[in-house]
Amino acid sequence: MRDRSGAGDDVEPSVYETEVEFDRLRTAVSWGQVEEHARKLHSGQGHHNVPKLRHCYGVAELAARHARHVFRDCDFFAQRYRELACRAGGLLHEAMDCGASFEDVVRAADEAVAQLVASITADRRLPRPKRARVYTNQVGLASAAAQAIKLADLQHDCLLLKGARPGPETEAWAEEAREVLASLGRIHTVAALAEQVWHLKADLQAMARKRRDR
């Protein structure tokens, strides 16, 4: 890394200020605080026959991995912060579904993470058929970072359900997953994630065949 003691000799001040701001944002997010909030919300809860926290941690790690591809062209400081924001968004991706408010997530992480979580949280006040349509459109309009978190969520759910006996709950999830997956247009330009989407589509098709052959 270049020496900053020269106070802008070889770098525009705005670039330096941006790097400092991203580093400040990253430092301000306490991972321990994010984990504590997730534990308080999800301790004792289940998700597809496993503890919900296990699912949330799985999504967090996948989302951080996806973020490296989404933000691969960003500078070092921006990339580190964006990766942390996606990891935190993955861990807290079901927080608002479980009663946390936008402000609660801001306090647990920061406003950017809260916006990521909000953009992939369905409005539970809507009746189910309309909710699914609105949610698919909502995810389609979300940022690439939010869509990367949603991809991680679908992937981990699929991993948990692939070996499960087909049933109404699994079928309903798979139908909605196919619709949401088709809306993840912002990450199709990222080659590594486009490949991940293709593999998930193949897994969903295999689940559908298993249901038909039952």
Q: Given pLDDT bands bounded at 50, 70 and 90, which one contains residue 14?
A: confident
If you average pLDDT over every residue of the chain, what do you get? Answer: 90
CA dihedral 131, 137, 143, 145 (to 10 degrees): 60
Which H or E run includes 156?
A: helix 144-161
Q: Name 177's Cβ contacts closer than 8 Å, sequence gap at least 6.
A: 154, 157, 158, 204
Q: What's the whole-model pTM score?
A: 0.90
Host domain of residue 89: 18-212
Token representation of residue 55: 């699912």
CATH number at residue 81: 1.10.3210.10
The sign of the torsion formed by the CA atoms of 186, 59, 65, 19 equals positive
Helix, strand, coil distribution of the chain in percent, nearest 5: 70, 0, 25
Over residues 61-99, the pLDDT tens digits come to 999 999 999 999 999 999 999 999 999 999 999 999 999
Q: Which residue has the higher pLDDT, 153 or 167?
A: 153
Q: Given pLDDT bands bounded at 50, 70 and 90, which one contains residue 173?
A: confident
Token representation of residue 53: 């926290």
Residue owning tokens 């619709």: 179
Does the structure show a pLDDT above 70 at 40? yes
Instruction: Report the pLDDT value the prediction gives residue 147, as an integer from 0 to 100.
Output: 98
In a domain, 13, yes or no: no
In a domain, 161, yes or no: yes
- For the chain, how many structural domains are there in total? 1
Does the structure show a pLDDT above 70 at 42? yes
Q: Given pLDDT bands bounded at 50, 70 and 90, which one contains residue 5?
A: very low
Instruction: Report the pLDDT value the prediction gives residue 13, as an integer from 0 to 100.
Output: 53
Instruction: Report the pLDDT value the prediction gives residue 213, as an integer from 0 to 100.
Output: 66
Instruction: Report the pLDDT value the prediction gives residue 15, as an integer from 0 to 100.
Output: 82
* Residue of 133, 135, 181, 136 whose CA lies nearest to 157: 181
Highest mean pLDDT among 1-15, 47-61, 154-168: 47-61
In a domain, 146, yes or no: yes
Token representation of residue 103: 């402000």
In a domain, 147, yes or no: yes
Q: Which residue has the higher pLDDT, 10 or 206?
A: 206
In a domain, 65, yes or no: yes
Cα–Cα distances in angstroms (integers) from residue 83 to residues 143, 170, 200, in the given order: 14, 31, 22
In a domain, 10, yes or no: no
In a domain, 8, yes or no: no
Q: Report the alpha-carbon angle 194-198-200, nearest 5.
A: 115
